[in-house]
Amino acid sequence: MLPIVWRAAAQEKLSQIVRFIAERNPEAAKRIKSLIEQSILPAADHPYLYRPGRVPGTREIVAHPNYVVVYRVTVDRIEVLTVVHARQQYP
């Protein structure tokens, strides 16, 4: 089992998303935060479970129809790199 490490940029992006949603619907913001955070957990046991990312060396999880979690697998951990809106131009 590999530990999951959220990079500072990914944590900030998730916070921005949650704040934006919370302005309109605080309960929905809590649900989406939990959903996104939980989506990466299976990668600890199965690092290559999710699709290869658009950026070489990354993988992507569709955590919600609107949000994609981008991560990479290293020798000793799973690094969450960012969370992007599905309609956002990425990379």
Confidence label for 90 from pLDDT (cuts 50, 70 and 90): confident
Domains in the chain, number: 1
What domain range is 49 assigned to?
4-85
**What's the rounded Cα separation, in Å, for the pair 28 and 5?**
25
Residue 91 has pLDDT above 90, yes or no: no
Q: Is residue 91 one of the residues assigned to a domain?
A: no
Q: Is residue 74 one of the residues assigned to a domain?
A: yes
Residue 58 has pLDDT above 90, yes or no: yes
User: What local confidence, expressed as pLDDT, does residue 89 receive?
Assistant: 85
What six digits make up the tokens of 68? 């994609």
The mean pLDDT of 70-87, rounded to a whole number, is: 96
In tens, the pLDDT along 11-24 reads: 999 999 999 999 99
Residues 6+ apart with CB under 8 A from 4: 40, 41, 43, 44, 77, 78, 80
The CATH number that applies at residue 61 is 3.30.2310.20
User: What local confidence, expressed as pLDDT, does residue 34 receive?
Assistant: 98
In tens, the pLDDT along 25-56 reads: 999 999 999 999 999 999 999 999 999 999 99
